[in-house]
Structure 1
Amino acid sequence: MKTIQCMMEHMYWADGRILEALEESGTKDKDLLKLVRHVAVAEQVWLSRLQGKGSMQYVLWEEAANLTEIRTMFEDNAKQYRVYMEGLKESELDEMVDYTNQSGVPFQTSVRDILLQVLLHGQYHRGQINRALRLESAEPVQIDYITFARL
């Protein structure tokens, strides 16, 4: 449980670092903003499923109005995940969650695997965002777990 909690704290930190790098870059790339919004919405989708709610109200791939909107999404996500994690017991990590994906297909996945999906999905896309920043001649930001752990 401690490892997942540390990884979640890393996720909140890394989301914030990516947003700072995007703000500093001044990017207007709509595809890049769409990608970072996708990360925030995917976090919402999985949390909704963990809470036993539906997720069909979320649109995973949609243009973002601006980084301020996305920052608010990430901040809300962090608050809600922290509350969820505080109430989660280690014995519940292997409980199965029934949900329907965005295409309407039913699935059953453990809480542990859902949390790992959220963590790894975000890190994958943050790497893509950093690469896009480099292609725009902007400075990518360090988001490795070890950097976070050294703080």
Structure 2
Amino acid sequence: MKSYHIRLLQYEHWANSRIIEALEKLETPPERAVLLTSHILNAQMVWFTRIVNDHLVVGIWDLLPVSWLKETSDLSYQKWDSYLKDLGETDFDKIIKYQTSKGDHYETSISDILTHLSHHAAYHRGQIITALKPVLPSPPSTDYVLWLRE
């Protein structure tokens, strides 16, 4: 399970980087694409702070400047990568108790949180590609199988 989640994290970083590179090429990227990219990165950090019981410093829908996206993505990847590499195989079953931004309380395993993050990001990257199509002749492809082939 550990190697699977580390690979998913590596894929996520690759896919997010492709989106960010596309946004950086545009003089005026669509605000919706920037907002959704920000949301993906913010969600990664929100979930990270929940897992490590740290202080939350970002809002889930905070809009980040395009110039911050790469650094934010790289920082998130480094934090998650370090964290996952330090986990033992059975740690992925550990239940995390957390509170949502609405104040609701839940319990979810680390493995399920990581799976959610991957699916959540893929969903929003599809929306970002749709927003980029009218302004970018060849929007990036972020399919998992393409990452595997590289």
Mark yes or no: TM-score above 0.5: yes
Q: Which whole-Å deviations, capped at 9, do the CAs of 1:86-129 have from their partners, x for residues lacking one? A: 11111011110001011111110001000111111111111111
- The yes-or-no answer on 1:58 pairing with 2:58 is yes
Please report the TM-score for the alignment, with normalisation by the length of structure 2: 0.92
Q: Could you say which residue in structure 2 is the equivalent of 1:36?
A: 37
Structure 1 residue ranges, 4+ long, deviating more than 6 angstroms after superposition: none
RMSD after superposition: 1.4
Instruction: Give structure 1 stretches of 5+ with no counterpart.
Output: none
Q: 2:138 is matched with which residue?
A: 139
Asked if structure 1 preserves the Cα contact closer than 8 Å seen for 2:40 and 2:121, the reply is yes
CA contact (8 A) 2:12 2:118 kept: yes
Unaligned runs of 5+ in 2: none
Contact in 2 for aligned 1:41/1:58 (Cα 8 Å): yes
CA contact (8 A) 2:24 2:67 kept: no
CA distance in 2, matches of 1:60, 1:109: 18
Residue correspondences, number = 149
For 1:115, give the aligned amino acid: L
What does residue 114 of structure 2 align with?
Answer: 115
- Whether the 8 Å contact between 2:48 and 2:80 is mirrored in structure 1 is yes
Normalising by structure 1, what TM-score? 0.91
Query: Would you say the 8 A contact 1:96–1:109 is kept in 2?
Result: yes
